[in-house]
Amino acid sequence: MQLALFIIFGLLAVAGALNLLFQRHPINSALSLVVVMMSLAVLYWSLGAEFLAAAQVIVYAGAVMVLFVFVVMLLNAGEEERTHGSRVAYIAGIPGAVAIFGLLTYVFLRSKGGLGTTQIGGDLSNVSSNIRDISHMLFTSLLLPFEVTSILILIAILGAVVLARKEV
C-alpha cells in the first residue's frame, strides 16, 4: 500500500521536476513545480507528517507558487531564449548534478539497512495527531527561533513593499 503510494507520487514528483527543467515557458514550469509540491505533500502524509502535508499545500502550493504565477502574469514573461551563457552551464551543470546524485545515492544505498523502513505513518483518520506535539515543542523549547522567524517575515514584508514600489 505504502509502496504503491510512494511509487505513484514519487514518479509524479520526478516527472514534474523534469517538466520544470524542460519547459520553456515559466508558467508551465511553475505549474509543474506545483505538481511536485502536491505529490510531496502526499509523501509527507505517508511519513506521518500530516500537519506538514497540509502546510505544504497551503503555504507552498497555495501561496508561494500562486505568487510566482502572479508575477509571471504581471510581467507577461514570454518563453526564455537561449543565450551564450547557457552552453557553459550545460557542459558544467549536467555532469556536476549527475555526480552529486551518484554520490548521494551511493551513500544512501550503502547505509540502506541502517536507515530502516517506514511504517504507514499517517494517523490521519485517528483522533490523535502529532500537531499537539509539534505545537508544544514549537512554543516551549523552540520559542526563540519561532519569534525570530516572525521578525524575519516582518522584515521580508517591509522589504518586499520597498523593493516593489514604483518610485524610490
Least distance (Å) between residue 160 CB and other proteins = 4
Least distance (Å) between residue 7 CB and other proteins = 9
Least distance (Å) between residue 11 CB and other proteins = 9
- 12 touches other proteins (CB under 8 A): no
Contact positions with other proteins (CB under 8 A) in 59-98: 59-64, 66-75, 77, 80-86, 89-90, 92-94, 96-98
Contact positions with other proteins (CB under 8 A) in 104-123: 104-105, 108-109, 111-112, 115-119, 121, 123
Least distance (Å) between residue 82 CB and other proteins = 7
Binding marks (x or -) toward other proteins, 31..50, rule CB under 8 A? Answer: x-xx-xx--x--xx--xxxx
User: Residues with Cβ < 8 Å from 122, sequence gap 6 or more?
Assistant: 45, 46, 47, 48, 50
Give 55-112 as a DSSP string. Answer: HIIIIIIIIIHHHHHHHHHHHT--PPPP-HHHHHHHHHHHHHHHHHHHHHHHHHHHTH
Site residue total, other proteins (CB under 8 A)? 108
Backbone angles phi, psi at 125, to 5 degrees: -100, 5
Backbone angles phi, psi at 77, to 5 degrees: -70, 130
Distance CA 25, CA 113 (A): 42
Binding marks (x or -) toward other proteins, 128..167, rule CB under 8 A? Answer: xxxx-xx--xx---x--x---x--xx-xxx-xxxxxx-x-
Least distance (Å) between residue 39 CB and other proteins = 10
User: Residues with Cβ < 8 Å from 39, sequence gap 6 or more?
Assistant: 9, 10, 12, 13, 16
